Protein backbone atom coordinates (compact mmCIF):
# COMPACT_ATOMS: atom_id res chain seq x y z
CA UNK A 1 0.00 0.00 0.00
CA UNK A 2 1.26 3.48 -0.88
CA UNK A 3 1.87 5.31 2.43
CA UNK A 4 1.14 8.63 0.71
CA UNK A 5 -2.34 7.63 -0.33
CA UNK A 6 -5.08 9.28 1.78
CA UNK A 7 -7.06 7.04 4.08
CA UNK A 8 -10.73 6.85 3.16
CA UNK A 9 -12.83 6.83 6.34
CA UNK A 10 -15.28 4.00 6.87
CA UNK A 11 -18.95 4.75 6.33
CA UNK A 12 -20.32 5.85 9.68
CA UNK A 13 -23.55 5.02 11.44
CA UNK A 14 -25.22 7.69 13.54
CA UNK A 15 -24.39 7.11 17.19
CA UNK A 16 -26.71 9.67 18.74
CA UNK A 17 -28.99 11.19 16.08
CA UNK A 18 -31.07 14.00 17.51
CA UNK A 19 -34.76 14.56 17.01
CA UNK A 20 -35.48 16.28 13.71
CA UNK A 21 -38.32 18.10 15.43
CA UNK A 22 -36.00 19.67 17.96
CA UNK A 23 -33.28 20.29 15.40
CA UNK A 24 -30.63 20.01 18.10
CA UNK A 25 -28.21 18.27 15.75
CA UNK A 26 -28.35 21.07 13.17
CA UNK A 27 -25.54 23.61 12.71
CA UNK A 28 -26.37 26.56 10.47
CA UNK A 29 -23.42 28.35 8.90
CA UNK A 30 -24.43 31.94 8.17
CA UNK A 31 -23.00 35.34 7.36
CA UNK A 32 -24.32 38.81 6.74
CA UNK A 33 -22.33 39.10 3.52
CA UNK A 34 -20.39 37.00 1.04
CA UNK A 35 -16.63 36.68 0.86
CA UNK A 36 -16.02 35.63 4.46
CA UNK A 37 -15.28 31.95 3.73
CA UNK A 38 -18.69 30.64 4.79
CA UNK A 39 -18.98 27.76 2.32
CA UNK A 40 -15.37 26.67 2.84
CA UNK A 41 -16.02 26.65 6.58
CA UNK A 42 -19.23 24.62 6.19
CA UNK A 43 -17.39 22.00 4.13
CA UNK A 44 -14.37 21.83 6.39
CA UNK A 45 -16.39 21.78 9.61
CA UNK A 46 -18.47 18.88 8.30
CA UNK A 47 -15.27 17.05 7.37
CA UNK A 48 -13.79 17.72 10.82
CA UNK A 49 -16.93 16.37 12.51
CA UNK A 50 -16.79 13.24 10.37
CA UNK A 51 -13.16 12.75 11.37
CA UNK A 52 -14.31 12.84 14.99
CA UNK A 53 -16.67 9.91 14.38
CA UNK A 54 -19.83 11.93 13.79
CA UNK A 55 -22.14 10.76 11.03
CA UNK A 56 -22.56 14.08 9.22
CA UNK A 57 -24.60 15.56 6.39
CA UNK A 58 -23.75 18.82 4.60
CA UNK A 59 -26.79 20.55 3.08
CA UNK A 60 -26.06 23.28 0.53
CA UNK A 61 -28.87 25.79 1.05
CA UNK A 62 -27.09 28.72 -0.59
CA UNK A 63 -30.01 29.10 -2.97
CA UNK A 64 -29.00 30.40 -6.37
CA UNK A 65 -25.26 30.46 -5.60
CA UNK A 66 -24.68 26.89 -4.46
CA UNK A 67 -21.02 25.94 -4.83
CA UNK A 68 -20.24 23.13 -2.37
CA UNK A 69 -20.01 20.72 -5.32
CA UNK A 70 -17.72 23.12 -7.18
CA UNK A 71 -15.30 23.45 -4.26
CA UNK A 72 -15.12 19.66 -3.91
CA UNK A 73 -15.07 18.82 -7.61
CA UNK A 74 -18.27 16.79 -7.40
CA UNK A 75 -20.24 15.90 -10.51
CA UNK A 76 -23.60 14.47 -9.57
CA UNK A 77 -27.08 14.53 -11.07
CA UNK A 78 -28.56 14.16 -7.58
CA UNK A 79 -29.21 17.63 -6.25
CA UNK A 80 -31.70 19.84 -4.48
CA UNK A 81 -33.20 20.92 -7.77
CA UNK A 82 -34.57 17.42 -8.29
CA UNK A 83 -36.21 17.57 -4.86
CA UNK A 84 -37.79 20.95 -5.54
CA UNK A 85 -39.07 19.72 -8.91
CA UNK A 86 -40.64 16.69 -7.24
CA UNK A 87 -38.43 14.23 -9.12
CA UNK A 88 -36.48 13.06 -6.06
CA UNK A 89 -37.20 12.46 -2.41
CA UNK A 90 -34.83 14.30 -0.08
CA UNK A 91 -33.08 11.05 0.80
CA UNK A 92 -32.53 10.29 -2.90
CA UNK A 93 -30.60 13.56 -3.34
CA UNK A 94 -27.87 12.47 -0.91
CA UNK A 95 -24.38 12.04 -2.36
CA UNK A 96 -21.70 10.29 -0.32
CA UNK A 97 -18.37 12.11 -0.31
CA UNK A 98 -16.17 9.10 0.34
CA UNK A 99 -12.93 11.07 0.70
CA UNK A 100 -14.35 13.00 3.64
CA UNK A 101 -16.55 10.29 5.12
CA UNK A 102 -19.72 12.43 5.07
CA UNK A 103 -22.84 12.92 2.96
CA UNK A 104 -23.83 15.96 0.90
CA UNK A 105 -26.98 17.34 -0.64
CA UNK A 106 -25.77 19.75 -3.29
CA UNK A 107 -27.73 22.75 -4.54
CA UNK A 108 -28.02 24.11 -8.04
CA UNK A 109 -25.32 26.65 -8.83
CA UNK A 110 -26.70 29.75 -10.50
CA UNK A 111 -30.33 28.60 -10.39
CA UNK A 112 -32.98 31.17 -9.56
CA UNK A 113 -35.57 28.44 -9.12
CA UNK A 114 -34.60 27.74 -5.54
CA UNK A 115 -34.24 31.39 -4.58
CA UNK A 116 -37.75 32.12 -5.84
CA UNK A 117 -39.55 29.33 -3.99
CA UNK A 118 -42.65 30.30 -2.06
CA UNK A 119 -42.99 29.92 1.68
CA UNK A 120 -45.21 26.84 1.38
CA UNK A 121 -42.62 24.96 -0.69
CA UNK A 122 -39.84 26.07 1.62
CA UNK A 123 -41.83 24.74 4.57
CA UNK A 124 -42.20 21.37 2.85
CA UNK A 125 -38.49 21.33 2.09
CA UNK A 126 -37.70 22.07 5.73
CA UNK A 127 -39.96 19.25 6.92
CA UNK A 128 -38.30 16.79 4.53
CA UNK A 129 -34.86 17.87 5.70
CA UNK A 130 -35.71 17.42 9.39
CA UNK A 131 -36.97 13.92 8.71
CA UNK A 132 -33.69 13.09 7.00
CA UNK A 133 -31.75 14.74 9.84
CA UNK A 134 -32.89 12.01 12.21
CA UNK A 135 -30.43 9.63 10.52
CA UNK A 136 -27.39 11.77 11.36
CA UNK A 137 -25.43 12.93 14.37
CA UNK A 138 -24.87 16.35 12.78
CA UNK A 139 -26.40 18.24 9.88
CA UNK A 140 -24.45 21.28 8.70
CA UNK A 141 -26.44 23.76 6.60
CA UNK A 142 -24.59 26.22 4.39
CA UNK A 143 -27.04 29.11 4.34
CA UNK A 144 -26.99 31.80 1.70
CA UNK A 145 -25.33 35.08 2.66
CA UNK A 146 -27.63 37.97 3.46
CA UNK A 147 -30.73 38.93 5.40
CA UNK A 148 -33.53 37.61 3.17
CA UNK A 149 -36.17 35.66 5.08
CA UNK A 150 -35.74 32.68 2.74
CA UNK A 151 -32.13 32.37 3.93
CA UNK A 152 -33.24 31.86 7.51
CA UNK A 153 -36.41 29.88 6.83
CA UNK A 154 -34.58 26.53 6.98
CA UNK A 155 -33.10 27.12 10.43
CA UNK A 156 -34.77 25.02 13.15
CA UNK A 157 -35.88 26.51 16.46
CA UNK A 158 -33.47 24.29 18.39
CA UNK A 159 -30.48 24.48 16.07
CA UNK A 160 -27.20 26.30 16.53
CA UNK A 161 -26.27 29.11 14.16
CA UNK A 162 -22.61 29.97 13.63
CA UNK A 163 -22.30 33.47 12.21
CA UNK A 164 -19.02 33.79 10.32
CA UNK A 165 -17.31 37.19 10.34
CA UNK A 166 -13.94 38.72 9.54
CA UNK A 167 -12.30 41.92 10.76
CA UNK A 168 -13.52 43.90 7.75
CA UNK A 169 -15.95 46.68 8.82
CA UNK A 170 -18.61 45.58 6.33
CA UNK A 171 -18.42 42.02 7.60
CA UNK A 172 -18.86 43.15 11.21
CA UNK A 173 -21.77 45.42 10.31
CA UNK A 174 -23.55 42.76 8.29
CA UNK A 175 -22.92 40.03 10.87
CA UNK A 176 -24.48 42.26 13.54
CA UNK A 177 -27.46 42.94 11.25
CA UNK A 178 -27.92 39.20 10.64
CA UNK A 179 -27.93 38.49 14.38
CA UNK A 180 -30.35 41.34 15.04
CA UNK A 181 -32.88 40.30 12.39
CA UNK A 182 -32.64 36.61 13.31
CA UNK A 183 -33.29 37.31 16.97
CA UNK A 184 -36.20 39.59 16.19
CA UNK A 185 -37.80 36.64 14.41
CA UNK A 186 -36.77 34.11 17.06
CA UNK A 187 -35.75 35.58 20.46
CA UNK A 188 -34.65 32.10 21.58
CA UNK A 189 -32.21 31.69 18.71
CA UNK A 190 -28.85 30.12 19.60
CA UNK A 191 -26.46 32.50 17.83
CA UNK A 192 -22.70 32.01 18.12
CA UNK A 193 -19.72 33.64 16.43
CA UNK A 194 -16.78 32.27 14.47
CA UNK A 195 -14.07 34.73 13.46
CA UNK A 196 -12.46 33.73 10.17
CA UNK A 197 -9.25 34.83 8.43
CA UNK A 198 -7.72 36.15 11.65
CA UNK A 199 -4.06 37.12 11.56
CA UNK A 200 -3.59 35.42 14.92
CA UNK A 201 -5.48 34.56 18.09
CA UNK A 202 -5.22 38.05 19.59
CA UNK A 203 -6.46 39.74 16.45
CA UNK A 204 -9.38 37.30 16.30
CA UNK A 205 -10.26 38.05 19.92
CA UNK A 206 -10.24 41.80 19.19
CA UNK A 207 -12.60 41.26 16.26
CA UNK A 208 -14.91 39.19 18.42
CA UNK A 209 -14.75 41.82 21.15
CA UNK A 210 -15.89 44.57 18.80
CA UNK A 211 -18.80 42.55 17.43
CA UNK A 212 -19.91 41.13 20.78
CA UNK A 213 -19.83 44.62 22.31
CA UNK A 214 -22.25 45.89 19.66
CA UNK A 215 -24.57 42.94 20.32
CA UNK A 216 -24.39 43.44 24.06
CA UNK A 217 -25.01 47.18 23.83
CA UNK A 218 -27.88 47.20 21.35
CA UNK A 219 -29.37 43.70 21.61
CA UNK A 220 -28.74 42.96 25.28
CA UNK A 221 -27.16 39.69 24.19
CA UNK A 222 -23.56 38.52 23.97
CA UNK A 223 -23.18 35.72 21.40
CA UNK A 224 -20.56 33.19 22.56
CA UNK A 225 -17.31 32.85 20.65
CA UNK A 226 -17.14 29.33 19.26
CA UNK A 227 -13.82 29.61 17.48
CA UNK A 228 -11.15 31.64 15.71
CA UNK A 229 -9.82 30.41 12.37
CA UNK A 230 -6.48 31.83 11.34
CA UNK A 231 -5.77 33.08 7.84
CA UNK A 232 -4.09 30.30 5.88
CA UNK A 233 -2.52 30.59 2.44
CA UNK A 234 -3.17 26.87 1.84
CA UNK A 235 -6.93 27.41 1.59
CA UNK A 236 -6.94 28.89 -1.95
CA UNK A 237 -4.76 26.00 -3.10
CA UNK A 238 -7.31 23.42 -1.93
CA UNK A 239 -10.19 25.36 -3.49
CA UNK A 240 -8.39 25.73 -6.82
CA UNK A 241 -7.67 22.01 -6.87
CA UNK A 242 -11.26 21.23 -5.81
CA UNK A 243 -9.98 19.11 -2.94
CA UNK A 244 -11.12 18.84 0.66
CA UNK A 245 -8.88 21.09 2.73
CA UNK A 246 -8.38 18.63 5.59
CA UNK A 247 -7.29 15.95 3.13
CA UNK A 248 -4.77 18.12 1.32
CA UNK A 249 -3.44 20.27 4.18
CA UNK A 250 -4.27 18.46 7.44
CA UNK A 251 -1.44 19.95 9.52
CA UNK A 252 -1.94 23.64 8.75
CA UNK A 253 -3.13 26.37 11.12
CA UNK A 254 -6.64 26.54 9.66
CA UNK A 255 -6.96 22.74 9.78
CA UNK A 256 -6.05 22.76 13.47
CA UNK A 257 -8.54 25.56 14.13
CA UNK A 258 -11.43 23.78 12.37
CA UNK A 259 -10.62 20.56 14.21
CA UNK A 260 -10.76 22.50 17.48
CA UNK A 261 -14.05 24.13 16.43
CA UNK A 262 -15.61 20.73 15.72
CA UNK A 263 -14.46 19.46 19.12
CA UNK A 264 -15.92 22.54 20.83
CA UNK A 265 -19.27 22.03 19.11
CA UNK A 266 -19.40 18.41 20.21
CA UNK A 267 -18.81 19.48 23.82
CA UNK A 268 -21.43 22.22 23.72
CA UNK A 269 -24.72 21.00 22.26
CA UNK A 270 -27.22 23.56 21.05
CA UNK A 271 -29.05 25.40 23.80
CA UNK A 272 -32.79 25.11 24.16
CA UNK A 273 -33.03 28.82 24.83
CA UNK A 274 -30.77 31.83 25.04
CA UNK A 275 -30.32 33.91 28.15
CA UNK A 276 -29.98 37.69 27.72
CA UNK A 277 -26.99 39.30 29.41
79-120: per-residue pLDDT in tens?
Answer: 888 888 889 999 999 999 999 999 999 986 555 555 566 777
Calculate the average pLDDT of the chain: 85
77 torsion bin: left (phi>0), alpha (psi -120 to 50), beta (else): alpha
Predicted pLDDT of residue 12: 64
Q: How many other C-beta atoms are found inside a 10 Å radius of the C-beta of residue 232? A: 19
Count of domains observed in the chain: 1
Asked if residue 272 is part of any domain, the answer here is no
Q: What percent of the chain has pLDDT over 70?
A: 79
| Measured distance CA(89)–CA(44) in Å, rounded | 26
Pick from 254, 249, 188: which is nearest to 227 by CA?
254
pTM higher than 0.85 for the full model?
yes
| Measured distance CA(272)–CA(64) in Å, rounded | 31
Please determine, for residue 43, whether its predicted confidence score (pLDDT) is greater than 90. yes
Asked if residue 5 is part of any domain, the answer here is no
| Range with lowest mean pLDDT among 22-36, 211-225, 263-277 | 263-277
Helix (H) or strand (E) holding 106, with range, is: none
Q: pLDDT class for 3, splitting at 50, 70, 90?
A: very low
pLDDT per residue over 161-206, tens digit each? 999 999 999 999 999 999 999 899 888 889 999 999 999 999 999 9
Cα 84 to its chain centre, rounded Å, is 21
Domain that holds residue 190: 26-266
Half-sphere exposure of 68 (CA within 13 A, CB side): 33
Angle, CA of 48, 49 and 51, to the nearest 5°: 65
Predicted pLDDT of residue 82: 87
| Range with lowest mean pLDDT among 66-75, 226-235, 254-263 | 66-75
Asked if residue 166 is part of any domain, the answer here is yes
Query: Residue 53's domain is classified under what CATH number?
Result: 3.40.50.300
Mean pLDDT of 152-169: 83
Asked if residue 15 is part of any domain, the answer here is no
Q: Does residue 240 contact residue 196 with C-beta atoms inside 8 Å? A: no
Asked if residue 153 is part of any domain, the answer here is yes
Asked if residue 7 is part of any domain, the answer here is no
Q: How many residues does the chain have?
A: 277
Asked if residue 277 is part of any domain, the answer here is no
| Cβ neighbourhood burial of 16 (10 Å; 0-12, 13-18, 19+) | exposed
- CA dist list (Å): 22 to 17, 265, 273: 11, 17, 12
Asked if residue 274 is part of any domain, the answer here is no
Amino acid sequence: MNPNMPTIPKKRVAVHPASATAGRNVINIASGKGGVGKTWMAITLTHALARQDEKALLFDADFGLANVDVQLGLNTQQNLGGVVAGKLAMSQAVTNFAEGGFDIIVGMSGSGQLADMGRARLSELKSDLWQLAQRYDRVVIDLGAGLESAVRSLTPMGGMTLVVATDEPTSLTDAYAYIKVSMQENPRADMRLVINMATDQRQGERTYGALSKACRTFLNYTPPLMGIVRRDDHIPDAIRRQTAFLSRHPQTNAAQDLTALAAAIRKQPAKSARKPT
